[in-house]
Structure 1
Amino acid sequence: MSAENEAQGERLQKVMAAAGVASRRVSEDMIAAGRVSVNGKVVTELGRRVDPTVDLVAVDGTAVQLDTSRRYVMLNKPVGVVSSMRDEQGRPDLSRFTADYPERLFNVGRLDAETSGLLILTNDGELAHVLAHPSFGVTKTYIARVRGVVTPQTIGRLTKGVELEDGPIAADKAKLLQTRSDDSLVEVTLHSGRNRIVRRMLAEVGHPVVELVRRQFGPLHLGTLKVGQLRDLTKAELGQLLTISRESR
């Protein structure tokens, strides 16, 4: 921020406390210890003033969200719900999960109706763009139950790449978790944003998907969040996402 704006801004420790980083006293200790940076530069003077809407603050290299109007929510999306805030065909959509939030939330990327799992809801458009756009390389991990017995050779095909109608695609990682007499459990990690890509890849190698769950999105893990439930991201999770977003600029 400019010198004029800096004189009019708020004290850094006050802004950090308002953002829930730590109490004002602990925030002062962090600043004095050289753990806090503003716009990429370490700040140690306690009188430093910042503009929460413009300046980028990090603690120990992890980004901090100073704008308390921003909301970040993790949803375990059920099967049968479309990834839209309003479905023109009248199908169950995401509005049922966001109705109680005062903010106008939207989904980051999509999961097809038959796929359950981790979906991020936010009102931060810049972060959403980075997380959803494949050029930024944010990976997603899926667990797929598929028909047939998957072999190590098939796993190798997924990571080497398969040819689909809209071009070649390779998984960043693939792992065989379980095989039974008539089905298998496969873990697939990739950063592509192409439509129904995991289902199409597995169908191409001869193992149509029976059930598909997204367990991980970048640094976020679904954990024990039950289907149909949502929760705000923790400070640590949000810091990881914001750090990815800022590093991509």
Structure 2
Amino acid sequence: MTPPARRDGTPESRRAAQSRQTRAKQRATELFVPSATTTKRQHVPADRANQAADQPLHQSGGVRLQKVLAQAGVASRRMAEKLIDEGRVEVNGQIVITQGLRVDPNTAIIRVDGVRIRVDEDLVYFAFNKPRGLQSTMSDDLGRPCIGDIVGEKIAAGQRLFHVGRLDADTEGLLLLTNDGELANRLMHPRYEVTKTYMATVMGEADNRLVKALTRGIELDDGPAKADAVKIIDVFQGRSLLVVTLHEGRKHIVRRMLKTAGFPVERLVRTKIHTVQLGEQTPGTLRALNDSELRSLYKVVEM
């Protein structure tokens, strides 16, 4: 048999052809697991982790493990069975190498190649563009407009949503809403230094002296505060447009820093939380976070 020709038309040696065929077979059987909705080293709340550890590995009324993996987008059922045979699947801390195991997707902690697979479809994650004048609460005793007025249908459908942090009524822009309490708590915790970016319109013509003052630190009544980065976008008619990035979460921190520096805020819009951006999203609307955004949030808070 004549060896196959290479792209340049010259014959390929038998050994090279065999090597090429072997590599092709290996690529055909490899699975790109991270394409599923996954989070490395995903943290599990202690009560849920204990619950999972205390349960027997096999749940008689559960769903077959290969089906759970397929529904999570890890692989087809057939290839999921191959993953199990190769000892690459872990359930509740134990490596599974036998077929037919049934699990409860709502409680089981499942990993493939050490990567946590999120199979709880009840968890939801939204980016919300808060309009000016809206209270950052799900309900308001004084009857003022609040987030709950906009997402009321989802709450009525049984989705208990948390707002991750808050914006004062006069501040617009990006808020994250979720029913994942662990993620919400971590995103707000100062330990993880999750950055937020704001677009601020201020009174006064800003220059590099303001940039240096904000990045070096401003002394406030509750201690010093400093921005991670400041950029002057425009200066016009006695006003300036700035982009301010910082990881602090104290109340009214951006407004207070700019006022103390001599540049009171006229308008403030939060445009970004870590890698999640507001973009062209219309005020008062929700959109679901995509897998890339969610993985990025989990990574920054070590989940």
Query: Is the CA contact (8 Å cut-off) linking 1:172 and 1:191 kept in structure 2?
Result: yes
Larger Rg: 2
1:125 corresponding residue in structure 2: 181
Distance 1:218 1:151, change over 3 A: same
The partner residue of 1:95 within 148, 151, 161 is: 148
**For residues 66 and 158 of structure 1, what CA distance do their matches in structure 2 show?**
43
1:100 is paired with a residue whose SS is: helix
Which AA in structure 2 matches 1:55?
I
**For residues 235 and 70 of structure 1, what CA distance do their matches in structure 2 show?**
13
Cα deviation, 1:19-39, whole Å, max 9, x if unaligned, reads: 4x356349739958x9x7758
The partner residue of 1:157 within 176, 190, 213 is: 213
Residue 5 of structure 1 and its aligned partner are, at CA, apart by 3.0
**For residues 176 and 113 of structure 2, what CA distance do their matches in structure 1 show?**
24
Query: Is the CA contact (8 Å cut-off) linking 1:108 and 1:120 kept in structure 2?
Result: yes
**For residues 183 and 59 of structure 1, what CA distance do their matches in structure 2 show?**
54
Q: Say whether 1:28 aligns with 2:80.
A: yes
Q: Say whether 1:168 aligns with 2:221.
A: no
Which AA in structure 2 matches 1:78?
P
Cα deviation, 1:185-229, whole Å, max 9, x if unaligned, reads: 111111111001000011111111111111111221112211111
Gaps of 5+ in 2: 1-51
Cα deviation, 1:104-152, whole Å, max 9, x if unaligned, reads: 2121110110111111111111111001122221111111111111111
**For residues 201 and 82 of structure 2, what CA distance do their matches in structure 1 show?**
47
What does 1:36-185 correspond to in 2, within 5 Å? 38=90, 47=99, 52=105, 53-55=107-109, 57=111, 64-101=117-154, 102=157, 103-185=159-241
**For residues 54 and 129 of structure 2, what CA distance do their matches in structure 1 show?**
45
Query: Is the CA contact (8 Å cut-off) linking 1:13 and 1:46 kept in structure 2?
Result: no
Residue 56 of structure 1 and its aligned partner are, at CA, apart by 5.3
1:7 is paired with a residue whose SS is: coil
2:56 is paired with a residue whose SS is: helix
Query: Is the CA contact (8 Å cut-off) linking 1:12 and 1:46 kept in structure 2?
Result: no
**For residues 78 and 266 of structure 2, what CA distance do their matches in structure 1 show?**
51
**Percent of paired sites with the same residue:** 41
Distance 1:177 1:2, change over 3 A: same
Query: Is the CA contact (8 Å cut-off) linking 2:67 and 2:77 kept in structure 1?
Result: no
Distance 1:174 1:24, change over 3 A: same
2:57 is paired with a residue whose SS is: helix
Residue 45 of structure 1 and its aligned partner are, at CA, apart by 5.8
**For residues 269 and 195 of structure 2, what CA distance do their matches in structure 1 show?**
14
Distance 1:182 1:126, change over 3 A: same
**For residues 267 and 82 of structure 2, what CA distance do their matches in structure 1 show?**
47
**Bigger mean CA offset, 222-231 vs 76-85:** 222-231
**Bigger mean CA offset, 214-223 vs 232-241:** 232-241
1:5 corresponding residue in structure 2: 56
- State the Cα RMSD in Å: 3.0
**For residues 179 and 118 of structure 1, what CA distance do their matches in structure 2 show?**
24
Query: Is the CA contact (8 Å cut-off) linking 1:85 and 1:94 kept in structure 2?
Result: yes
Query: Is the CA contact (8 Å cut-off) linking 2:66 and 2:81 kept in structure 1?
Result: no
1:6 is paired with a residue whose SS is: coil
**For residues 185 and 30 of structure 1, what CA distance do their matches in structure 2 show?**
56
1:14 corresponding residue in structure 2: 67
**For residues 262 and 82 of structure 2, what CA distance do their matches in structure 1 show?**
55
2:18 corresponding residue in structure 1: none
Query: Is the CA contact (8 Å cut-off) linking 2:63 and 2:102 kept in structure 1?
Result: yes
**Aligned residue-pair number:** 243
**For residues 160 and 183 of structure 1, what CA distance do their matches in structure 2 show?**
22
